[in-house]
Amino acid sequence: MALNKKTIDDINVKGRRVLVRCDFNVPLKDGAITDETRIVAALPTIKKLMNDGGRVILCSHLGKVKNGPNEGESLAPVAKSLSEKLGKEVVFVSDYHVTGEAAAKAVEAMKDGDVILLQNTRFRGAEETKNGEEFSRELADLADDYVCDAFGSSHRAHASVAGVTKFITEKGGSNAVGYLMQKEIEFLGNAVENPVRPFVAILGGAKVADKLNVISNLLEKCDTLIIGGGMAYTFLKAQGKEIGNSLVDDSKLDYCKEMMEKAEKLGKKLLLPADTTVVSAFPNPIDAPVDVEYVSTDAIPADKEGVDIGPETCKIYSEAVKNAKTVVWNGPMGVFENPTLAAGTIAVARALAETDATTIIGGGDSAAAVNQLGFGDKMTHISTGGGASLEFLEGKALPGVVAADDK
C-alpha cells in the first residue's frame, strides 16, 4: 500500500519549529523505564529532524492518567533516556500545563538542532482525549510544522494526534508522518492489501469483542485464518461444543457462526483448536504453578477451563505457517504470562521464527510474548501499536494517518 501522505523526507525543517507526536508510553517501575523499545523506535525521526536543522519539540502521553497530573506519570525519565541516546541534552519542560509559559520560553530559547520534550499530554485530561480545540491550538502555537510518529496512538483522535493539524494548516505549516509511522503503514498495509501468498493470519488473545471485527476483514484477504487464545472458545461454543468454564462472549455466538459460514463460502481455511490445555481453576497469581490436562475440544469437561491450545493444535498451527509467504500474528494462544500455559504461544512464535515468510507481529501482547520468549530478532516486523495495528487490520482509517497532509 503506497503511503500517499507527506513524510519527513518531503518537508524542509531548517530553522523551523517542529512539533513531533511520539509514542513514549513506556512501562515504568519505581521511576525507571523497564522497556525502551518505543524510545528507540522514535530515534530515526528525531535524528533526521535534528540533522536537518529543525527545532524539535517532542510530545507524548504516558499511562492513563486517571487521577490527574502526578510525578509517577511524568515524562521526566523519558527525557533522561533520550538525552543519553541522542548524546545531547533534551530539555524537559516539567510544567503540568504542558503548553504554558515554561514551554513557550523553552521553545523561544531553541537553536537549530535542539530538542525539547513537553510534559505528558494527558495531564490536560479531556482536553487531550476529547480532541479539545483550545489545547490543539496551544500545541500548534508552539510550532511551525507537525510530525506524527506515534503509530501506537494513531487510532485515537486526540488533540496531540489529530486536532493540532488543523491549526498547523491554518498557519501554512505542513503535517507529515515520521519514519516509524511510514514503516508501520507500509508493512501492515502491504501485508493486508498486497500480500505475497499464501497469506496466513493468526489471531489470539482474550479480548474477544476486539478481534471479531478483524476476522471479517482478514477472511477476505488471507488464505488461512488461525484462531487461538481465549476467543477460540466462543467459536467452539458456536459449533455446539461444551467449553466448560472457559472464557466466552455469548453475545457473539451468531457472529462466529456467520464467520465460519463466510470462510466456507469464500473457500478459506479457518482453523480452530483441535485440543486444549485445561485447568481446574485459573492460576492466582497468574504465574503460579498449575496442574494441566490436555483434552480434545470435543471433550472439554464441564468443570474445567481452557487456558491454552493443546499439543496437537500446536503441531497443526505450526504446520500451517510452514509454507506461508506472509504471516500476520496478533494475540497470544493462551495465558502466556504463566510459564506452563505459554506452550502454545511459544510453539507459534518458534514456527514463525523458522519460516521464510514475511512475519508481522501486531503489537501489544503478541509483541511482548515474542520479545520475552527471545524470538524478536527473527521476525520481519514487530508493530509498536497493539490497538492501532488491530484497527488497521480491520480496515479502519486511523485518525493520525488521515490528519497528515496528502502528497
**Catalytic residue numbers, as ranges:** 38, 207, 364, 387
Contact by Cβ (8 Å): 42, 149 = yes
Phi, psi of 172, deg, nearest 5:
85, 10
Closest among 244, 251, 235, 233 to 334, alpha carbons compared: 233
Q: How many residues does the chain have?
A: 407
Contact by Cβ (8 Å): 277, 314 = no
Contact by Cβ (8 Å): 140, 171 = yes
Q: How many whole angstroms separate alpha carbon 257 and alpha carbon 234?
A: 10
Q: How many whole angstroms separate alpha carbon 356 and alpha carbon 230?
A: 28
Q: How many whole angstroms separate alpha carbon 246 and alpha carbon 302?
A: 9
Q: How many whole angstroms separate alpha carbon 382 and alpha carbon 370?
A: 9
Task: Enumerate residues 6+ apart whose C-beta is below 8 A from 112.
Answer: 14, 15, 53, 54, 55
Contact by Cβ (8 Å): 100, 138 = no
The grid cell for 38 is 518505543
Q: How many whole angstroms separate alpha carbon 153 and alpha carbon 385?
A: 7
Q: How many whole angstroms separate alpha carbon 310 and alpha carbon 279?
A: 12
Residues paired with 147 in a beta bridge: 20, 176
Contact by Cβ (8 Å): 31, 69 = no
